[in-house]
């Protein structure tokens, strides 16, 4: 149950485009960072996606991907041309098929093939109409869904929302947010003919004038369960209230939101918050497993990621500079704990913090604030000098992020045990055992 936000230059402090996304998936579904170089292909080559194989193009662009470890596609990412995309699951009356391109496949393929937000919009629609969407998107559970997307570059942003091979899109004016619900109602700029025709056939609307995408296609119960409306509106209020002065620091803050409750605890809330914390298998089965924030300027872009779950207690560090690779000490993880894989290094701290959240968050929050203030100042100073973050800069800030996380782990391990809901404790102990996370 994800959240994606965007603001164009008219709403930001420095005229750049800002993008942010929390990727919420199953709580032990590792999400890794990848940087794939630009690559050329010979004629008639194909690309094997999560469930189907499709024709490859002659050239793919350099991309940053944040992707679940087991699938081809990505939850969010950006490319060398400053195009960025985030996707959301939509809970709709029309159910996806057993095969096709997943929303994550569509996102990755589009980033690899697009030089602008508008060309990305056209590319994604063409892929959708040609190959369709479908297949299980869950890791340990069965979960199929339709998809919505925010697509942006330095000048434009679009919202694209899809049902099977049908779609509608609107161009963003200033800012927008999407959160596991259809956000387009009557305000679309274009739609596929089949979208409205199918709704008329099913009796969901009487005519094109009567068509409302959100009202006609939403599965109301599933959409309510995903708490998409509350999160969408929370983010939209933040964007509106700060329009004209928005910065990347604001976007990081928005993605850490817990209903403005300073004493919020993950074991007590019944509904998803923007910074999502898993608590049970029914009302809150998902966790924010990675977060991405980007600033796209006219001649360059900078990207920040937690590379880990729980952005409220994880630092954002810079990633994907010009000609840089992943940080030297970053290693992708898989389904079992490994103390050399950053996602799991951070996750050990998060699992410990689950059982002593107030003290752990109280310790790490000011350290994250100082870390990010210094980091953002460093990067912005470089940009003002006409420079870009190089590999040394990427490595430096990632090493500091690791050290901060390890210090927080050491602090939390020494805390006295606190009383906690036994059902919540059992829920997380099951994952700790299943993932072989050493909690001592």
A 10 A CB-CB count for 301 gives: 26
User: Nearest-CA neighbor of 394 among 312, 296, 323?
Assistant: 323
CB 178 within 8 A of CB 88: yes
d(CA 53, CA 55): 7
> In angstroms, rounded to a whole number, what is the distance separating the alpha carbons of residues 311 and 3?
13
Beta bridge partners of 319: 303
Query: Which tokens belong to 406?
Result: 């390890």
- Taking a C-beta distance cutoff of 8 angstroms, is the pair 292, 304 a contact? yes
d(CA 415, CA 408): 11
Q: Position of tokens 């998803």?
A: 272
Half-sphere exposure of 299 (CA within 13 A, CB side): 5
SS3 of residue 142 by DSSP: coil
Give CA separation, 95 vs 135, 164, 321, 387, 423, in Å: 11, 8, 39, 48, 33
Measured CA to CA, the distance from residue 102 to residue 74 in angstroms comes to 10
Q: Measure Cα distances from 290 to 10, 65, 316 in Å.
A: 28, 11, 10
Between CA 127 and CA 57 the distance in angstroms is 12
Q: Please, is 60 exposed, middle or buried when counting C-beta atoms within 10 Å of its C-beta (0-12, 13-18, 19+)?
A: buried
Residue of 2, 205, 275, 375 with catalytic role:
2
| Nearest residue to 368 via CA among 387, 348, 346 | 346
Rounded-to-integer distance, Cα 82 and Cα 26, Å: 29
What is d(CA 13, CA 247) in angstroms, rounded to the nearest whole number? 6
Q: What are phi and psi of 355, to 5 degrees?
A: -95, 0
The whole-angstrom separation of Cα 64 and Cα 111 is 9
Active site residue 275: no
| Catalytic (active-site) positions | 2
């Amino acid at each position: 149950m994800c959240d994606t936000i965007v603001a164009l230059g008219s709403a930001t402090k420095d005229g750049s485009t800002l993008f942010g996304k929390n990727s919420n998936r199953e709580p032990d579904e590792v999400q890794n960072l990848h940087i794939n170089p630009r690559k050329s292909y010979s004629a008639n080559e194909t690309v094997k996606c999560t469930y189907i194989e499709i024709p490859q193009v002659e050239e793919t662009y350099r991309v940053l991907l944040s992707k679940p470890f087991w699938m081809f596609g990505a939850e969010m990412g950006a490319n060398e041309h400053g195009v960025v995309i985030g996707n959301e699951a939509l809970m709709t009356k029309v159910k996806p098929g057993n095969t096709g391109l997943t929303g994550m496949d569509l996102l990755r393929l589009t980033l690899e093939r697009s030089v602008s937000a508008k060309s990305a919009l056209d590319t994604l629609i063409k892929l959708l109409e040609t190959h369709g969407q479908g297949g299980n998107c869950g890791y340990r559970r069965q979960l199929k869904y339709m998809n919505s997307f925010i697509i942006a570059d330095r000048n434009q942003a679009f919202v694209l929302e899809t049902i099977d091979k049908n779609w509608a899109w609107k161009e963003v004016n200033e800012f927008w947010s999407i959160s596991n619900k259809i956000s387009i109602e009557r305000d679309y700029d274009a739609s596929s003919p089949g979208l409205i025709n199918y709704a008329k056939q099913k009796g969901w609307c009487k005519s094109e004038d009567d068509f409302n995408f959100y009202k006609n296609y939403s599965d109301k119960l599933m959409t309510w369960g995903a708490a998409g409306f509350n999160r969408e509106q929370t983010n939209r209020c933040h964007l509106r209230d700060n329009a004209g002065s928005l910065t990347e620091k604001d976007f990081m803050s928005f993605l850490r939101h817990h209903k403005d409750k300073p004493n919020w605890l993950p074991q007590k809330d019944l509904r998803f918050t923007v910074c999502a914390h898993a608590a049970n298998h029914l009302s809150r089965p998902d966790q924010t497993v990675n977060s991405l924030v980007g600033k796209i300027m006219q001649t360059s872009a900078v990207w920040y990621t937690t590379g880990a779950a729980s952005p409220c207690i994880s630092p954002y560090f810079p990633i994907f500079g010009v000609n840089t690779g992943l940080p030297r000490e970053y290693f992708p993880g898989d389904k079992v704990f490994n103390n050399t894989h950053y996602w799991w290094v951070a996750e050990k701290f998060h699992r410990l913090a689950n059982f002593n959240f107030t003290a752990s968050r109280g310790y790490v929050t000011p350290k994250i604030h100082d870390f990010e203030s210094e980091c953002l100042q460093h990067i912005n100073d470089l940009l003002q000098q006409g420079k870009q973050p190089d590999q040394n800069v990427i490595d430096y800030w990632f090493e500091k992020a690791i050290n901060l996380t390890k210090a927080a782990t050491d602090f939390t391990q020494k805390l006295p045990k606190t009383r906690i809901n036994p059902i919540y404790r059992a829920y997380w102990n099951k994952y700790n055992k299943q993932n072989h996370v050493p909690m001592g």
